[in-house]
Amino acid sequence: AAPTRVFAFRDARWAPDPVLEPSAAVRSPQPAPLVIDNGSFQTRAGWACPDPSVPAEPLLRFRSLAARSRGARGGAGAETQVGNDLGSPEPLRWLLRSPFDRNVPVQLELQELLLDHVFQRLGVSSQGCVDHPIVLTEAVCNPLYSRQMMSELLFECYQVPKVSYGVDSLYSFYHNRRQNWPCSGLVISSGYQCTHILPVLEGRLDAKNCKRINLGGCQAAVYLQRLLQLKYPGHFAAITLSRMEEILHEHSYIAQDYIEELQKWRCPEYYEDNVHKMQLPFSNKLLGSTVASEEKQEKRQQQLRRLQELNARRREEKLQLDQERLDRLLYVQELLEDGQMDQFHKALVELNMDSAEELQSYINKLSLSVEQTKQKILQSEVNIEVDVVDSKPETPDLDPLGSEQSLEDVESINEFEPLFAEEQPEVEKPVAAVQPVFNLAEYHQLFLGTERIRAPEIVFQPSLIGEDQAGIAETMQYVLERYSKEQQAILVQNVFLTGGNTMYPGLKARIQKELLEMRPFQSSFQVSLASSPVLDAWYGARDWAVEHMTREEGWISRKDYEEKGGEYLKEHCASNVYVPIRLPKQAPRAAEAPSRASGTGNPGEQA
């Protein structure tokens, strides 16, 4: 028998980031660069310092999200939470905001919140400014406007001394470089929002032939959520995006041949051996049959007693009020009988009555009401006594000798039995006979069959979700065909996979299969995966920062920013290609004026 593959959702909560105390090595002999991998899914930050006392790993890792609550009325003002301070994204899903549109930061006020969080938690203690150089990642072929706004934020708001921009996937390629650097290769980077095919020739990005696919881990999670919500409409609210991301990270894989893999899943034996069952949280108390019948009866009797006590208390209060009003009316009637007419008429006016007949009518009604209430109170006391007697099991067998007293008790119980007929316990069958054939735990399970391969497949077949785009294989072939055969052979010798969306099992084998189909017969190629697809971008940026700490290459100083504008970029081995804005030259106005004058001065010649 196949082992049962039942997995529980971890639903892990994010722990708030502590405020770290930086080492003295990051301040002396000169401020160490601060490396920030500004990803659309996660932000990673840490120090680039060769000193062994400074950890050579990102000290902060948090989701690139912020939520701003409006605050309670009359209470504290709006509260802003960033990254791991959110705890869990699902309760605040409708409040979450990201500075990114796809993989390009466009909401700079939200980007400022993320940077504030980074500087505060890393313990940057400089007054009024951040006096550390900044190494920041940006998107491939980042729009000039986005870089301009980011430079303005860093130089004007934080007063940084210098900044360097680089592409995250190229930093990862730089970190995993071989001995013969600069080298060439084809970088396939797939992240949360986008997938890029980047050709690198002699250590530099060939930006003209870069291609982007607008699909990544976010679209796969939304597609998987839609599939499971259609499959399990009863658990619509429990199928959240966070849980879908957990399924993608831990239970999905890339099929080497998608159609062939679907045919395998049609086999019942293969399905039973490979299906993953995700256990949703549930409670046994939701099912009525799981509660013992004795507990039901006890709860029902307790509720009945509480209702009877509540009714008795209300009747006593009503009896007390009616009795006080009746005593007041009888006192006024005694004034009439004693002949004190002035006080009698004054009392009638206070009671809002017109005559003695009306007074007598009210006295009769109140007297009747008081008597009826007293009878109900007495009846309820008897009912409570009967209920106590009735709650004892097997009442007729209390007196096995059959004395007269016990028979009278039984007769008195039978007199009040109609009052509580609905509360009498029914003759119950054994519990095993009434339990339905229904497994509550299995009802709250999500069976992951073909969904394990359907969601990640969208980067190879975007048409699965209705996207009119080419997949990775077609785009890779299109990029390679733009080069000569010699350059193609060089590029395919180093096909490099990086990014969080490339961590699916089987992705490397799938890329090898696609290359085998598109490359000429008996040609060679090599596919490699980043040592840490998620963190290698930060590690590569740190390597570059440590090596170029004392150089001017790749750093944009404040003087460069003021002279050449915020969109200016100093190129380096892992950066974008700088394309300055070229405005068309306008003709000088002084030369235009004489021509206009000569044209308008002789209308006869023009005719």
Cα→Cα distances 274→271, 448, 486, 584, Å: 5, 9, 44, 63
Q: d(Cα 176, Cα 546) in Å, to the nearest integer?
A: 16
pLDDT tens, residue by residue, 301-323: 888 888 888 888 888 888 888 88
Geometric angle at alpha carbon 6, from 3 and 7, rounded to 5°: 130
Looking at the structure, do residues 328 and 271 belong to the same domain, yes or no?
no
Greatest distance between any 2 Cα atoms in the chain: 143
Looking at the structure, do residues 273 and 308 belong to the same domain, yes or no?
no
Q: d(Cα 474, Cα 392) in Å, to the nearest integer?
A: 80
Query: Which of 343, 365, 381 marks a domain boundary?
Result: 381
Q: How many CB atoms lie within 10 A of CB 602?
A: 9
Residue 330: inside a domain? yes
Look up the CATH number of the domain holding residue 262: 3.90.640.10
Residue 154: inside a domain? no
Please identify every stretch of the chain with a pLDDT value under 50, giving residue numbers as ranges.
1-2, 74, 286-290, 388-389, 391-435, 593, 597, 600-607
> In the chain, how many domains are there?
2
Looking at the structure, do residues 271 and 326 belong to the same domain, yes or no?
no
User: Residue 462 CA to chain centroid, in angstroms?
Assistant: 24
User: Residue 117 CA to chain centroid, in angstroms?
Assistant: 20
Looking at the structure, do residues 370 and 310 belong to the same domain, yes or no?
yes
Cα→Cα distances 366→75, 320, 324, 371, 411, Å: 51, 12, 10, 9, 35
Query: Which of 437, 467, 497 marks a domain boundary?
Result: 467
Q: Where does 74-143 show beta strands of DSSP type E? A: 79-82, 96-97, 100-101, 104-105, 134-138
Query: Which of 432, 467, 502 marks a domain boundary?
Result: 467
Class of residue 571 by CB neighbours under 10 A (exposed 0-12, middle 13-18, buried 19+): middle
Residue 328: inside a domain? yes
> Which tokens sit at 107?
């909401």
User: Residue 66 CA to chain centroid, in angstroms?
Assistant: 11
Q: Would you say 451 and 220 are in contact if contact means Cβ atoms under 8 Å apart?
A: no
How much is the pLDDT for 332? 84
Looking at the structure, do residues 313 and 246 belong to the same domain, yes or no?
no
How much is the pLDDT for 183? 87
Cα→Cα distances 300→92, 291, 306, 389, 417, Å: 40, 13, 10, 16, 16
Looking at the structure, do residues 327 and 377 belong to the same domain, yes or no?
yes
Residue 237: inside a domain? yes
Residue 221: inside a domain? yes
Residue 89: inside a domain? no
Q: d(Cα 467, Cα 463) in Å, to the nearest integer?
A: 5
Looking at the structure, do residues 310 and 247 belong to the same domain, yes or no?
no
Looking at the structure, do residues 371 and 318 belong to the same domain, yes or no?
yes
Class of residue 485 by CB neighbours under 10 A (exposed 0-12, middle 13-18, buried 19+): exposed
Secondary structure (3-state) at 534: coil
Domain hosting 459: range is: 217-280+446-467
188: left (phi over 0), alpha (psi -120 to 50) or beta: beta
Residue 273: inside a domain? yes
Looking at the structure, do residues 268 and 309 belong to the same domain, yes or no?
no
Residue 261: inside a domain? yes
Q: How far apart are the first and last CA of the chain?
A: 101
Looking at the structure, do residues 311 and 264 belong to the same domain, yes or no?
no
How much is the pLDDT for 358? 84
Looking at the structure, do residues 374 and 308 belong to the same domain, yes or no?
yes
Residue with tokens 């001995």: 179
pLDDT tens, residue by residue, 78-127: 788 999 999 888 888 889 999 999 999 999 999 999 999 999 999 997 78
Q: Would you say 377 and 340 are in contact if contact means Cβ atoms under 8 Å apart?
A: no
Q: d(Cα 360, Cα 354) in Å, to the nearest integer?
A: 11
